[in-house]
Amino acid sequence: MAIWADENIRLLVQGITGHQGQFHTKAMMEFGTKIVAGVTPGKGGMEVHGVPVYNTVEEAMEREPNASIVFVPAPFAKDAVIEALDAGIKLVVVITENIPFHDAMQFVHYAKYKGARIIGPNCPGIASPGKTKIGILPNVIFKEGGIGVASRSGTLTYEIVNALSQAGFGQSTCVGLGGDPIIGSTFIDALKAFEKDPQTEAIVLVGEIGGTAEEEAAEYIAANVTKPVYAYIAGRTAPPGKRMGHAGAIISGGKGTAESKIKAFEEAGVKVAKFPHEIAELIKNDKRI
């Protein structure tokens, strides 16, 4: 099995005719993703890598997609997400970065009202090796297996997943949650899903400074998660008072530091790596796996 995205995904690509849309449509197809339609207003009737293009999501629903990926530029991303939700799509992966906070607030809350899941915005997407990929994660780093990965950082995700695969540890699902202050899916959402997933034997969380998501995840792990959890926190050497990396990497009021996150994880029984490549070593040396 996997979480949130499996072999039953029928994907719609919003913004399919743009450079990123075309490039990543091909890469997702090579991964094994079933892409049934694309949408770009005014480009209906075209094809991209054999995928039919429609002017609206409503028109594309004749192809029966059940998930969407959004490559639409930031000023128009909110409308694209809402269009997908109004059409009844229950999983929307928003790759677009620099979406205004109030736009993200609106579509994240609207998705909850619609009973749908948003992954992102400003994220690399989700991949379940051997099943499907919805996003821009590199195909070559993955190996099918039992490690669930949830991350706030795209590039660190790639490094850690690649190290896991090289060490012989495949992944059940890898999800990039996004680095913005407002995101549709959280560490806790991923932890709940991985805990229930029979394929997932252990969980890796990739966090960073700023916000309280990791501390909240640690509290949830201590009370609810029975599977081994490992973590890496980016930003240990960040200068005090300086924002690093993502918009969500903001430290305020003494909260959100690397130290506070590492302490919270360790108190919850989570093994924390000092460097990304150490995650695989921690798993290899853990007698619980």
Helix (H, G, I), strand (E, B) or coil at 232: strand
Of the candidates 136, 132, 131, the one whose C-alpha atom is nearest the C-alpha of residue 120 is 136
Q: What is the DSSP string of 121-179?
A: SS--EEEETTTEEEES--GGG--EEEEEEEES-HHHHHHHHHHHHHTT--EEEEEE--S
The tokens of 44 are what?
């209906």
Active site residues: 246
What is the C-alpha separation between 92 and 121, in angstroms, rounded?
10
The tokens of 241 are what?
């008072």
Give the β-pairing of 47-48 and 51-54. antiparallel
- CB of 145 within 8 A of CB of 194? no
N-term to C-term CA, the chain: 18
Compute CA 284 distance to the chain's CA centroid, rounded to the nearest angstrom. Answer: 25
DSSP symbol at 66: -
Strand order across the 51-54 sheet: 47-48, 51-54, 35-39, 11-14, 67-70, 91-94, 117-119
The tokens of 66 are what?
């059940």
The tokens of 3 are what?
């979480």
Q: Give the contacts of 15 (CB within 8 A, at least 6 positions apart).
A: 21, 39, 40, 70, 71, 72, 73, 80
In the numeric block, the tokens 């240990």 are attached to 236
